[in-house]
Amino acid sequence: MRYPVHGITLDDMVTLAEVARLRSLSQAARQLHLSTGAVSRRIDNLEQRLGVRLLHRSTRLVALTTEGSQYLSEILPALDAIAMAGDRLGEGNQQIRGNIRAVFPVNYGRLYIAPHLAEFLLRHPQVRLEAIFDDNFNDIPGEGLDLAVRIGQLEDSRLVARRIATDSRVLVASANYLDKHGTPVHPTDLLHHNCLHYTHFRGPQRWHLQRNGERLSIAVDGNLRADYGLALTMAAEGGLGIVQTARSIIHDALADGRLCEVLCDWSLPDIGVHAVTPSREVPARVKALIDFLAERLPDA
């Protein structure tokens, strides 16, 4: 590619984007089929032409500087537009190809996404997928992600979201816990129970329930908080307390009696399952994955 802008080539910019995405010169070199030295020289050229340091480099870590992050955020739309132009040609040839870097929630992803990834890649053999399973709310553009599947409330208005499934929330506990501490018959009874809290539910530890137009917000409390939903459901199965969770995650535990539903006549807000992208201009390969997941994911 030879379209210089003050001595900067498109290759240089693509190389910076790959180094930032992978946080490694050597991994970017493998991805671009270059030597590590060639990648380093491209970054050096960028820094010299721009007159700023773009990367912090050490033997263990490569990270963008403030100037590097700003520069990358401004060139990524142009790089995406160039990639989209190629994707549109590929669509005309009925070919889906290229790299996808996607992040999925851990438990939901294990149960409902991971089992279908082989089918997607067999259907599109020219796609290379990097699947990351992580419950954190990742910085999608900053981490070079093409797609994130997120469950629950979306707060970043800069991103573009499409609902691809709906899950429902339930309150559950073990029969042993309910035998020992009593079964709640009204949401206010939760004030006297050990309520286990998932810290990725944003905001204070309040559970919102409604029935026949009556809406209640209960400030619950408990002795276990975790950012990993499976830890909470395992603790509930062990008799520790009551947990609010997605029905899809504990479907089997309900079916075989390891957990019992609590306050069945009250409902909690549904959980939206969204495909989130950094831009409305979605490459064909990413759109194909989103469409595929929308077909496969269940509504619970």
166-177 mean pLDDT: 93
Residue 105: name the closest of 150, 138, 147, 140 by CA.
150
- What the chain holds in terms of domains, given with CATH numbers, is 10-88 (1.10.10.10), 96-158+273-296 (3.40.190.10), 169-269 (3.40.190.290)
Tens digits of residue pLDDT in 51-106:
899 998 876 678 889 898 888 888 887 777 776 666 565 555 557 888 999 999 88
Confidence of residue 156 (pLDDT cuts 50, 70, 90): low
CA angle (207, 210, 213) in 5-degree steps: 150
Euclidean distance between CA atoms 153 and 137, whole angstroms: 11
Greatest pairwise CA separation for the chain in angstroms: 74
Q: Helices marked H in 93-207 — which ranges?
A: 106-108, 114-123, 175-181
Residue 178: name the closest of 229, 243, 232, 245 by CA.
243
Residue 66: name the closest of 54, 77, 50, 75 by CA.
54
26-44 mean pLDDT: 86
pTM of the model: 0.61
Look-up: residue for tokens 């797609």?
Answer: 147
Tens digits of residue pLDDT in 85-95:
665 655 555 57
| pLDDT for the residue numbered 157 | 52
Tens digits of residue pLDDT in 213-260:
899 999 999 999 988 888 999 999 999 999 998 888 888 899 999 999
Residue 39: name the closest of 51, 54, 50 by CA.
54
- Is the pLDDT at 278 greater than 90? The verdict is no
Q: For CA atoms 229, 230, 235, 237, give the dihedral sign.
A: positive
Look-up: residue for tokens 């077909």?
Answer: 295
- Is the pLDDT at 297 greater than 60? The verdict is yes
Euclidean distance between CA atoms 109 and 107, whole angstroms: 5
| pLDDT for the residue numbered 144 | 77
Q: How confident is the prediction for the chain on average, in pLDDT? A: 85
| pLDDT for the residue numbered 171 | 96
Q: What is the CA radius of gyration of the chain?
A: 23
Determine which helix (DSSP H) or strand (DSSP E) holds 246, and give its type and residue range: strand 242-246
Cα–Cα separations (whole angstroms), residue 127 to 97, 105, 118, 130, 182 = 5, 21, 11, 10, 53
| pLDDT for the residue numbered 222 | 93
104-128 mean pLDDT: 92
The DSSP-derived string for 206-234 is EEEEEETTEEEEEE---S-EES-HHHHHH
